[in-house]
Amino acid sequence: MEIKAWNLVLFSCLLLSLLASPSSAQTCVSQTFPDNKQYVNCTDLRALSSYLHWTYHQSNGTVEMAFRHTGTTSSRWSAWGINPSGPSMVGTQALVAFVNSSGVTQAFTTSIDSLFPTLQPTDLSFQVPSLSATFENDEMTIFGVLRIPENMLSTSQVWQEGPVSNDQLQPHTTDGANLQSRGSINFLTGQSAGASSDSRTRRRNVHGVLNTVSWGILMPLGAITARYMKVFKSADPAWFYLHVACQSSAYVVGVAGWATGIKLGSDSPGITHNPHRTIGIILFCFGTLQVFALLLRPNKNHKYRLYWNIYHHSIGYSVIILSIVNIFEGFDILNPEDKWERIYIGILIFLGAMATLLEAFTWYVVIRRKRTNKHPLAMNGANGHGQG
């Protein structure tokens, strides 16, 4: 039975490799533009359903580019820019586009000089000989020609989107995908690190997979094992060892996931996800209390066993509920492909259906056993003797 627990650990490693590995097929390759316009290079950006296409013309030192933001609406603005000082908002030389109240798509340049920019048209530190934008089929595309100096050909890139109200561009949100919309770009070599292949994104994926498998799968599985297997006398003490194996594996893997979260937090000053962080700390504390509870577990006939059971079950079910809540909080922060969230929802449905069936079967066994114990001699007649 312990093999099943280790199979789930192996499954987590497989899932981790799938999440951590960049996809070889890029969507941008199949995208087309009006008048059959083509670009030499393109990359799928890692957040906000965005894509960058460009061609560097070394003869005149210009970059011809197109930034495409899909799945947006006419009531939201889109922006892309480069920042020679690093992958941050302040210092970004940006191209911005939005649809005004007259239904006309406008594009302008703006230099971001504070954490709360007004997004008003300003000149950039380099020339932009051509700039335009189109909005159709829920896609905003910004076209531009940039005359970039050689020392900015390899630089950081940032892209964003936010709401528009009465032709006024409102601030974007500061969580989820809006915090992931940054990377690097080399216009000369065609290399880009704005996709999910950078090390920080891999660490985020590691953190997500470890915690999903440990707190979100192994923990509920261990609880199901303890609740339903111990009803059968033949499963004693196998159910206990399997329960300990599941919960111990979950705790060890979960602590590793928690540690990666702490590291991610220390590497991202100024960025906090308070609900996710708070629940994570509570889970770590509750999980540690459960480990100590195992060491202090009294015998079945001990006078304090009832109180220990109440404590153990209360903390255990609290961990499961909080784990599921925090995993979905993590999905909102990581913003992975929808299939990963659907896979986890499918696992929860499977575990819930299995628990429901086992609950019904367990009650059937318990009720039947009570009836048998209440009338142990019923098969030999009312008084325990045959009727001749």
- Looking at residue 265, its pLDDT comes to 75
* pLDDT for the residue numbered 350: 93
Q: What angle do CA 378, 383, 388 make, to 5 degrees?
A: 90
Instruction: Confirm whether residue 375 is marked as ligand binding.
Output: no
207 among annotated binding-site residues: yes
Fold of 197-374: Four Helix Bundle (Hemerythrin (Met), subunit A) (1.20.120)
Residue 377: exposed, middle, or buried by beta-carbon count in 10 A (0-12, 13-18, 19+)? exposed
Whether domain 31-193 has CATH 2.60.40.1210: the reply is yes
pLDDT tens series, the chain, 388 aa? 444 444 444 444 444 444 444 444 578 888 989 888 889 888 899 889 999 999 999 888 899 999 999 999 999 999 999 988 887 788 899 999 999 999 999 999 999 888 778 889 999 999 999 999 999 999 999 999 999 888 888 888 999 999 999 999 998 887 778 878 888 888 887 766 554 445 556 777 888 899 999 999 999 988 888 888 877 777 778 888 888 888 888 999 989 988 888 877 776 655 567 888 899 999 999 989 888 888 888 888 888 888 888 988 899 899 999 999 999 988 887 767 778 889 999 999 999 999 899 888 888 887 887 777 766 554 444 444 444 4
Is residue 243 annotated as involved in ligand binding?
yes
Model's pTM, two decimal places? 0.50
Domain ranges of the chain: 31-193, 197-374
> Is 172 among the annotated ligand-binding positions?
no
- Please state, in angstroms and rounded to a whole number, the distance separating the CA atoms of residues 194 and 200: 11
182-186 and 154-165 beta bridge pairing:
antiparallel
Residues 6+ apart with CB under 8 A from 351: 217, 220, 221, 224
